[in-house]
Each structure stands twice: as C-alpha cells, then as structure tokens.
Amino acid sequence: MIRWLAATVLLVPMLVGASASLDAPACAASGSATAVAAAGPTVWLAGDSTMANPGAACPVGWGSQFGALFKTGVTVNNRAVAGRSIQTWLYEGNVTGTIGSNGECVLSSTTYSTRWQEMLTGMKSGDYLIVQFGINDGDTKCPRHVGTARYQQLMTMMAQAALARGAHPILLTAVAAITCSGSTAVKNRGFVPQTAAAAAATGSPVIDLQTLSVNLYNSRHFCPNNGDYTTGALGAFFCNDHTHFETYGAQQIAGLVAGALRSQNIPLAAYLK
C-alpha cells in the first residue's frame, strides 16, 4: 500500500505537467488570433489633388492628414493623384483627347491603371475604400472630361469591386472650393446626384463633403473676401488659389470626414482616436 501511494504521488505532477504542455499550443494559437483580430483595416483612398499627398508645401491633400486621426494598427494608403478625373485615374494613359459620338472621351485600351490594379490586389476583407472625385471630371475637354452617366457608372464599378473583396466602400462628393455670394460661401461642385446614385446602387454610405466644407467655410466667415489667399485666415487655410489647401486646411477637411464617419455611424469610426 505504501509503495502504491508513493507511485501515485509521483504520477500526479507528471500528468499535470503533460496537461499543461498539451494546453500550451492552444493558448499560443489563441493569442495569435487575438493579435490578428486587433490589427486594424487598410483604408484605401482614391481621388484628386484635394486628397493627394503633397509634392510641395502647397497643395496638401486632406488624405495626407487622415491617418493621424486613427488608432494604431490602421493603415491609410493614399493613392489620390493630382489632376485626375475618375476616368483618368482608373485608366491612366489610356484616355485619349478625342470625344466619341456618345460624348465621352475615347479609351485606347480598357486596361486599368497600375495604381487601381495594385489596390485591387492588396484589398482584403474588412478594408475600406474611400472615393472622392468630381472636380477635374467637369472639364469640357478630353482626356479629363467625364459625363454624368459615365461618372456614375465608374463610381459604381469601384464600389462593387471593393464589395467583391469584402471591403467597404465610402463615396464622397467633392470638397468645395471657395465661391462667395455676398457674405455666404456657396456650393460649386457637380456629380452630386451621381455619387448618391452609385452609393444607393451598392448600399454604400455617402459623405456629402461639399456641403460639409461649405458649412465650415461659412462658420469661419471666409466670405466675403478680397481674393487674397496669402495672408490671414484664408492664407492659413488655402494655397494661393480658391481650391487647394495648406496643411492646416487639409487637417480641417480630414476632420470633417472623420466627423461624418461618427455622425453617420459608419463602422470605420470605431478605429478613430
């Protein structure tokens, strides 16, 4: 009996140790899964100069200031390019200077730009795609000209491509330039109904950045003004034009987008600081 008890006492720690060893990999796997779950999404940005990363002190696109508003783990990949319409952004180098019988610029090839192909390849489930065009698209001449029906078609296509990859599209109307009517800043961007229609067709949220930016300009009393964008409140906000932003102005516009994410209960808001 004594020998049996001694053997039992020795055996119990060995069994406990073996059990702990078997549990260890499961704990490690759980920790790894938690780490993956904690990693934030990539936020892909597609747009024009008002969104693009700066190549000089001015202009500064609001997209370059967007990443600072998010918690650690979120990656903002800004692929906006100055001077682009939605079509020249998508089909870089393949949009000709010829207007076809349908009123649209003729494409020499339907091959997508490298930037869009790279985004589609890199986009994963849970990511976000934010699209803002509608400024250069209003050009009457090719290659930048885009008709309203074509604009809606291309924006819808971009949203559908994101959805097909498990990502979440967010469509924006174009940020406003300063246009004063007396003491009031007024709207000056097109393609608003087309942006809303593309959002409705794909079940995507739409942020009316034109309205938000005009409201901001009015709250800052930017109108009336003498057209001098080099000094004072206007100079701090805008480059020496009525369209592009200094760093401070870009930060304010980025803040408008972040505020809309919260006020519209868009899930990306959960990752904001």
Position 38 scores a pLDDT of: 56
Q: Which value, to the nearest 10 degrees, does the dihedral of the CA atoms of residues 84, 90, 92, 96 take?
A: -90
Position 36 scores a pLDDT of: 36
> Is 75 part of any domain?
yes
* Cβ atoms within 10 Å, residue 202: 18
Instruction: Report helix angle 148-164 to 192-202, nearest 10.
Output: 30
Q: How far apart are CA 190 and CA 262, in angstroms?
A: 25
Position 116 scores a pLDDT of: 98
> Is 225 part of any domain?
no
DSSP code string of 140-179: SSTTT---HHHHHHHHHHHHHHHHHTT-EEEEEPPPP---
> Is 81 part of any domain?
yes
Question: Which is nearest to 36 in space by CA: 45, 46, 28?
Answer: 28
Number of domains in the chain: 1
Domain that holds residue 112: 40-177+190-209+246-271
> Is 161 part of any domain?
yes
The CATH number of whichever domain residue 140 belongs to comes to: 3.40.50.1110
Position 57 scores a pLDDT of: 85
Residue type, 105: C
Residues 6+ apart with CB under 8 A from 66: 43, 45, 76, 78, 254, 257, 258
Q: How far apart are CA 230 and CA 53, in angstroms?
A: 21
Evaluate whether 176 touches 189 at the Cβ level (below 8 Å).
yes
pLDDT in tens, the chain (273 residues): 444 334 443 333 433 343 333 333 333 333 333 333 457 899 999 999 999 999 988 999 999 999 999 999 999 999 999 999 999 999 999 999 999 999 999 999 999 999 999 999 999 999 999 999 999 999 999 999 999 999 999 999 999 999 999 999 999 999 999 999 999 999 999 999 999 999 999 999 999 999 999 999 999 999 999 989 999 999 999 999 999 999 999 999 999 999 999 999 999 999 999
State pTM to two decimals: 0.86
Q: How far apart are CA 123 and CA 96, in angstroms?
A: 29
> Is 124 part of any domain?
yes
* Cβ atoms within 10 Å, residue 141: 9
> Is 6 part of any domain?
no
Q: How far apart are CA 43 and CA 74, in angstroms?
A: 7
> Is 115 part of any domain?
yes
> Is 231 part of any domain?
no
